[in-house]
């Protein structure tokens, strides 16, 4: 179960935090940040902090699997999002 913290607009930037409240990770904190980069271009940056459960065994799983798997998963999600948004009309297009 996760909790989404409200968006907090900053100068030219929007962000929210997806923070795990219960299982499966000991810690899961995901902050996507969206910043305007120019005419019709937005840069999305993901910051993720996580810790697997089970102490030393979990740290081994992080190094063996999660440190490779999670960046790839987020990259695939971002590519899907980019393609999906490219097919939608822009709000400022009139």
Domain ranges, ordered by start, for the chain = 2-93
pTM: 0.71
pLDDT at 19 over 60: yes
Report percent pLDDT > 70 for the chain. 82
- Identify the pLDDT of residue 92: 61
What is residue 51's three-state secondary structure?
strand
Quickly count: other Cβ atoms within 10 Å of residue 4's Cβ: 10
For the chain, how many helices (H) and strands (E)?
2, 5
pLDDT at 50 over 60: yes
Which pLDDT tens digit goes with each residue over 23-48?
899 999 998 888 888 777 888 899 99
pLDDT at 5 over 80: no
- Does residue 15 or residue 61 have the better pLDDT? 61
- Identify the pLDDT of residue 43: 87
What integer best gives the mean pLDDT of the chain? 84
């Amino acid at each position: 179960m996760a909790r989404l913290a409200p968006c907090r607009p900053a100068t030219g930037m929007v962000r929210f935090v997806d923070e795990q409240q219960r299982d499966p990770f000991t810690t899961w904190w995901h902050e996507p940040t969206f910043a305007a980069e120019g005419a019709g271009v937005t840069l999305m940056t993901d910051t993720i902090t996580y810790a697997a459960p089970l102490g030393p065994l979990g740290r081994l799983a992080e190094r063996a699997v999660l440190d490779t798997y999670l960046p790839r998963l987020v990259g695939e999600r971002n590519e899907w999002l980019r393609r999906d948004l490219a097919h939608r009309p822009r709000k400022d297009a009139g």
